[in-house]
Amino acid sequence: MIISTTNRLPDKKVYRVIGVVSGNTVRTRWIGRDIAAGLKTIIGGEIKGYAEMITLARKDVMRQMEEKAKQKGANAIIGVRYSTTSVMGGAAEILVYGTAVKVK
């Protein structure tokens, strides 16, 4: 499966547009991470617990989107975008979406 943020793929021709596919998840903070994050705001530096959480969430939503595209018969997804929204205090939605297509 080819996945790209661009709307065109070099050396490939889109011959069928299947439609929008997406993946999403809502993740919440954990008290242990919050304590570590609070300390980092005092001394500075990367908050690795949160970075790891977001990285895993991105991988999860990408997998969801790719599976939906495969189920619809696509062999590529173009125009991929990410979005993050605060759902409530301590929880955020991570959304990825793109256009499922067939390419030659």
Query: Where is pLDDT greater, at 15 or 55?
Result: 15
Q: Which pLDDT value is given to residue 91? A: 79
Residue 83 CA from chain centroid, whole number: 8
Percentage of residues in the chain with pLDDT exceeding 90? 62
Class in CATH terms, 2-103: alpha beta
Q: Inform me whether the pLDDT recorded for 89 exceeds 80.
A: no
Q: Which residues contact 92 (CB under 8 A, 6 or more apart)?
A: 26, 27, 84, 85, 86
| Tokens 């530096």, located at residue | 45
Note the pTM of the prediction, 2 decimals.
0.81
Residue type at 13? K
**Alpha-carbon span 81 to 89, nearest angstrom:** 24
Q: How confident is the model at residue 86 (pLDDT cuts 50, 70, 90)?
A: confident
- End-to-end CA distance of the chain, in Å? 12
**Alpha-carbon span 38 to 31, nearest angstrom:** 10
* Model pLDDT for residues 23-69, shown as the tens digit of each residue: 999 987 655 555 555 555 555 566 667 778 888 999 999 999 999 99
Task: Give the start-to-end residue ranges of the domains of the chain.
Answer: 2-103
